[in-house]
Amino acid sequence: MIGLIFRFGGEVIEVRVDYHSITFRSSTYGTAFVPIDALSFSKEGVLKEHPDLADNPAWKTEAIIRFKTYIKGLDSENKVVDYIISDLGKFGYTLIAKQKQGHRVEVINVR
């Protein structure tokens, strides 16, 4: 398992990657980790990634299915972590720390 901590504005978001299982936690969702299905999405953000969903009334559900399918296609936990860091980075999330289970926290130098 690998933990990632991001900053987004004044909020801190923690992501846990356990191979193909990804959960999220922030002050918005309380102290429990939640799956991607429980997160809020902006339609504008989803359409940046999937413009073909513009007229789909189930745009959120379809975007989640595509995300999960893509994650399951990645063949290592490190590739999943790299994808999460890259994907959240596109939306303004800044990685501030990373920790592999059983190892020390790696603080990322953010300027």
**What total of structural domains would you count in the chain?**
1
Domain that includes residue 35, residue range: 2-107
Q: Is the pLDDT of residue 111 over 70?
A: no
Judging by DSSP bridges, how do beta strands 34-35 and 2-8 pair with one another?
Answer: unpaired
Task: Give the number of other Cβ atoms within 10 Å of residue 21's Cβ.
Answer: 13
Q: 72: which 2 tokens?
A: 């399951």
Q: 25: which 2 tokens?
A: 């936690």
Q: What is the pTM of this model?
A: 0.86
Q: CA angle, corner 108, sides to 98 and 50, nearest 5?
A: 70
23-50 pLDDT, tens digit each: 999 876 677 899 999 888 889 989 998 9
Task: Give the number of other Cβ atoms within 10 Å of residue 84's Cβ.
Answer: 20
Give the C-alpha separation, 65 to 22, whole Å: 13
